[in-house]
Copies of this chain bind each other. A is one copy, B any other.
Amino acid sequence: MASRDHGEPVDARSVPPQVAEVAEPVRRPSAAEEARTIVASTNTATLATLTAAGDPWASFVTYGLLDGAPVLCVSNLAEHGRNLAADPRASLAIVASSEDPDPQAWARVTLAGVAEQPAGDEASAAREAHLAAVPAAEHYIDFSDFTLWLLRVHRVRWYGGYGRMDHATGEAYAAARPDPVRPRAAAAIAHLNKDHADSLCAMARTLGGHPDATAATCTGVDRYGLDLSVTTARGNAHTRVGFATPIDSADDLRSATVELAQRARISR
Q: A residues within 8 Å of B by Cβ? A: 5-7, 9-10, 43-51, 54-60, 62, 75, 77-79, 89-93, 95, 101-106, 108, 110, 112, 134, 136-137, 139-140, 143, 145, 157, 159
CA A9 to CA B56, docked complex, whole Å = 30
Q: Is the CB of B103 within 8 A of A62?
A: yes
Check A145/B6 contact, CB under 8 A, given A49-B56, A58-B91, A103-B62.
yes
Q: Is the CB of A7 within 8 A of B56?
A: no
- Give the shortest distance, in Å, between A74 (CB) and chain B (any CB): 11
Q: Give the interface centre of A58, A60, A79, A105 by most chain B CB atoms within 10 Å.
A: A58
- The residue of chain B having its C-beta at the shortest distance from the C-beta of A62 within the complex is B103
Q: Is the CB of A136 within 8 A of B57?
A: no
In the complex, chain B residues whose CB is within 8 Å of the CB of A112: 51, 55-58
In the complex, chain B residues whose CB is within 8 Å of the CB of A106: 60
Top 5 A-B residue pairs of the complex, sorted by shortest distance between their CB atoms:
A46-B46, A48-B48, A48-B58, A48-B56, A58-B93
- Give the shortest distance, in Å, between A251 (CB) and chain B (any CB): 27
In the complex, chain B residues whose CB is within 8 Å of the CB of A5: 75, 77-78
Q: Is the CB of A103 within 8 A of B50?
A: no
Q: Is the CB of B43 within 8 A of A103?
A: yes
Q: Is the CB of B93 within 8 A of A59?
A: yes
Check A75/B6 contact, CB under 8 A, given A102-B136, A103-B62.
yes
Check A57/B110 contact, CB under 8 A, given A75-B5, A77-B6, A103-B43.
yes
Further 5 A-B residue pairs, CB within 8 A, beyond A48-B49, A104-B134: A44-B103, A46-B46, A48-B48, A50-B56, A56-B90
CA A24 to CA B89, docked complex, whole Å = 48
28 A-B pairs in the complex with CB atoms less than 8 angstroms apart: A6-B75, A6-B77, A6-B145, A9-B143, A46-B46, A46-B48, A46-B93, A48-B57, A48-B91, A49-B56, A50-B54, A50-B56, A56-B90, A57-B110, A57-B112, A58-B58, A58-B92, A58-B93, A58-B110, A59-B157, A60-B93, A60-B103, A60-B106, A103-B134, A103-B136, A104-B136, A104-B140, A105-B136
- Give the shortest distance, in Å, between A252 (CB) and chain B (any CB): 31
